[in-house]
Chains A and B, each alone.
Chain A
Amino acid sequence: MRYWDGYRGASFSELLELEHPQLQPKLWRGASEPALGDTGHGTTCLALHFADGALVAGDRLATMGYQVASREIEKVYATDRYSLLAIAGAAGPAIEMARLIRIQFEHREKIEGEPLELEGKANTLAGLVRQNFPAAMQGLAVVPLFAGYDLRRRCGRVWKYEITGGRYEEREFESVGSGAVFAREGLKKSYRPEADRGQAIRTALGALTDAADEDRATGGVDLLRGIYPRIKTCTAQGIEEIPDEEIAEHYQQLLEERRSSGELR
């Protein structure tokens, strides 16, 4: 605790930089070889708009090279009461980034007495992604999706990022990770901006199922172990995590729809 010469701003990452540099997650220090094969990678996540706000979903699989690293990894995080983060890419730095951004938002809210605007949160995340750029060049890329409910504009909003920290707001939907191309194809066909909660859940579930079908690194629904993708929504009422039982029901409904349309036999 330094009263006279301590850091006086409201940014947690600047506080770490100036007063606790040893705690900073700077992975590229000393790394010279691409570390791709030996670290866990999270795969497919998606975010979309629906009638009440935004929805974020992700499968639960993490891979290490061609092997399974974890079947139940968490890729969709509530970063505060009105925002969600989903991360594909190197699992270690991704989880650390989710932890750091959550503290960052909370820190600023406590110091200044009021939370950041959703736009401000999206920009804060861009800074963290940019900081990770040297690690991304070593094969430890972290590619987040950020979504939330904008209390001022009264609407859901979704952003995607690239490893340089560039951020782009998406009006409809976006997906990231190894199965992203397939998920996006699925979303393109079934996405409806006016979809209600149930329809939005089925759209997300369908897209992740498609991604898991085509991409070996994406988990999808694992009926054998009872593992379902993680789906969270963010609306004016705050964040809701959809329980597995409800996802299971929507999954059955989705399969029936696909059977009756002749897509599945």
Chain B
Amino acid sequence: MTFPFYVNPEQMTQDKAEFARKGIARGKSIVTLEYASGVLMVAENPLQLQKLGEIYDRISFAGVGKFSEFDRLRKMGVQWADVEGYRFSREDVRGKALANLYSQLLGDEFTRSPKPFEVEIVVAEVGDDELSGHEQNAIYRIGFDGTISDQKHFCAIGGSVENLTSHLEANFQEGLDLPGAVRLGRATLQRAENGSPDLPAESLEIVLLDRDGTGRRFRRLPDEEVASHLG
């Protein structure tokens, strides 16, 4: 008869967390911030493979870490949202519910599987003045172990989060216009240890959720528009 090895749960959790953190820190960072008419997501990403995506009318997704893992999570989010909207109504698809589902999934996998997810994700939801109780924007950050936090105004994920967050804390103002928010997003990403000091428009992937729009509020900014905002 064989006995399984005894592994100290504290040790195991620490090892897994360290492993996940290392994986995440290798990737480029992403900044999510509010601006006057919505929520903006800015990623350093010169590649065609996208890290930011549309989930539903008022919800967008950002992921850092291992691409195959967070992209699968993004697609699951789209599947969940479209089924939810079909089953009930478009207004019933809510960012908080999705963020909680992600949190549970990542938390379960962290405990259960030998290799935790090497991802960190953000679910952003733009507010709607017509929708009572949902007038405010919401930014949820979900960590590799399922820790979920509700962020106010802005949020950074990926490597060098402390640098980025302190830059945002020092420079963020409420009611920024779109060009101002794009510039702040880029300036923040340039603070990352593995970021480049002068990011051109082509190296930025930028999406937004437009508060003033109707229906699908998600929009991807083309390079030319990003360049004109950067001035």
**Contact indicator B82/A12 (Cβ below 8 Å):** yes
**Contact indicator A110/B53 (Cβ below 8 Å):** yes
- Tell me whether chain A's interface is mostly helix, strand or loop, or mixed: helix
Q: Contacts A1-B101, A3-B72, A3-B76 hold; do A107 and B87 have CB atoms under 8 A apart?
A: no
**Contact indicator B79/A103 (Cβ below 8 Å):** no
A262 located at the interface, meaning its Cβ lies under 8 Å from any Cβ of chain B in the complex: no
**Contact indicator B82/A1 (Cβ below 8 Å):** no
Q: Mark A222-243, 1 if CB is under 8 A from B, else 0.
A: 0000000000000000000000
Q: Mark B72-89, 1 if CB is under 8 A from A, else 0.
A: 110110111011011100
B193 located at the interface, meaning its Cβ lies under 8 Å from any Cβ of chain A in the complex: no
**Contact indicator B109/A6 (Cβ below 8 Å):** no
- Chain B residues contacting A213 (CB-CB under 8 Å) are none
Which residues of chain A from 87 to 101 have a CB within 8 Å of any chain B CB?
A: 99-100
B50 located at the interface, meaning its Cβ lies under 8 Å from any Cβ of chain A in the complex: yes
**Contact indicator A111/B83 (Cβ below 8 Å):** no
**Contact indicator B78/A1 (Cβ below 8 Å):** no
Q: Which residue of A lies closest to B101 (CB)?
A: A1
Q: Contacts A23-B87, A113-B50 hold; do A1 and B75 have CB atoms under 8 A apart?
A: no
A7 located at the interface, meaning its Cβ lies under 8 Å from any Cβ of chain B in the complex: yes
**Contact indicator A6/B83 (Cβ below 8 Å):** no
Compute how far the CA of A142 lies from the CA of B88 in the bound complex, rounded to whole angstroms. 24
Our pick among B53, B72, B80, B86 for the contact of A99 (Cβ within 8 Å) is B86
- Chain A residues contacting B105 (CB-CB under 8 Å) are 1, 3
B55 located at the interface, meaning its Cβ lies under 8 Å from any Cβ of chain A in the complex: yes
Q: Interface residue tally of chain B, by bracket?
A: 20 to 34
Which residues of chain A from 1 to 37 have a CB within 8 Å of any chain B CB?
A: 1-3, 6-8, 12, 15-16, 19-20, 23
Compute how far the CA of A16 lies from the CA of B83 in the bound complex, rounded to whole angstroms. 8
A106 located at the interface, meaning its Cβ lies under 8 Å from any Cβ of chain B in the complex: yes
**Contact indicator B53/A113 (Cβ below 8 Å):** yes
**Contact indicator A107/B78 (Cβ below 8 Å):** yes
**Contact indicator A7/B86 (Cβ below 8 Å):** no
Q: Contacts A6-B79, A7-B79, A103-B85 hold; do A110 and B55 have CB atoms under 8 A apart?
A: yes
Compute how far the CA of A173 lies from the CA of B73 in the bound complex, rounded to whole angstroms. 44
- Chain B residues contacting A16 (CB-CB under 8 Å) are 83, 86
Q: Which residue of B lies closest to A10 (CB)?
A: B75
Compute how far the CA of A3 lies from the CA of B116 in the bound complex, rounded to whole angstroms. 13
Our pick among A15, A23, A106 for the contact of B79 (Cβ within 8 Å) is A15
Our pick among A2, A20, A100, A110 for the contact of B54 (Cβ within 8 Å) is A110
Our pick among B73, B76, B82, B101 for the contact of A107 (Cβ within 8 Å) is B82
Compute how far the CA of A110 lies from the CA of B218 in the bound complex, rounded to whole angstroms. 10
**Contact indicator B55/A15 (Cβ below 8 Å):** no
Task: Give the shortest distance, in Å, between A241 (CB) and chain B (any CB).
Answer: 14
| Closest 7 pairs between A and B when the two form their complex, measured CB to CB | A110-B78, A107-B82, A110-B54, A1-B101, A1-B76, A111-B75, A111-B78
The contact sample of 20 A-B pairs, CB cut-off 8 A, is A1-B101, A2-B76, A3-B105, A8-B72, A8-B75, A12-B82, A12-B86, A15-B82, A16-B83, A16-B86, A20-B87, A23-B83, A99-B86, A103-B86, A106-B216, A107-B82, A110-B53, A110-B54, A110-B78, A111-B75
**Contact indicator B53/A3 (Cβ below 8 Å):** no
Q: Which residue of A lies closest to B218 (CB)?
A: A110
Q: Which residue of A lies closest to B49 (CB)?
A: A113
- Chain A residues contacting B216 (CB-CB under 8 Å) are 106
Our pick among A3, A8, A19, A20 for the contact of B109 (Cβ within 8 Å) is A3
**Contact indicator B80/A1 (Cβ below 8 Å):** yes
Compute how far the CA of A5 lies from the CA of B149 in the bound complex, rounded to whole angstroms. 28
**Contact indicator A23/B86 (Cβ below 8 Å):** yes
**Contact indicator A15/B83 (Cβ below 8 Å):** yes
- Chain B residues contacting A3 (CB-CB under 8 Å) are 72-73, 76, 105, 109
- Chain B residues contacting A12 (CB-CB under 8 Å) are 82, 86
Compute how far the CA of A257 lies from the CA of B62 in the bound complex, rounded to whole angstroms. 58
Task: Give the shortest distance, in Å, between A56 (CB) and chain B (any CB).
Answer: 20
Q: Which residue of A lies closest to B98 (CB)?
A: A1
Q: Which residue of A lies closest to B55 (CB)?
A: A110
- Chain B residues contacting A113 (CB-CB under 8 Å) are 50, 53
Which residues of chain B from 4 to 28 have a CB within 8 Å of any chain A CB?
A: none
Q: Which one of A3, A8, A107, A111 has the greatest number of beta carbons of chain B within 10 Å? A: A3
Task: Give the shortest distance, in Å, between A253 (CB) and chain B (any CB).
Answer: 32
Q: Which residue of B lies closest to A7 (CB)?
A: B79
Q: Which residue of B lies closest to A102 (CB)?
A: B86
Q: Contacts A3-B109, A23-B87 hold; do A103 and B80 have CB atoms under 8 A apart?
A: no
Which residues of chain B from 49 to 80 have a CB within 8 Å of any chain A CB?
A: 50, 53-55, 72-73, 75-76, 78-80
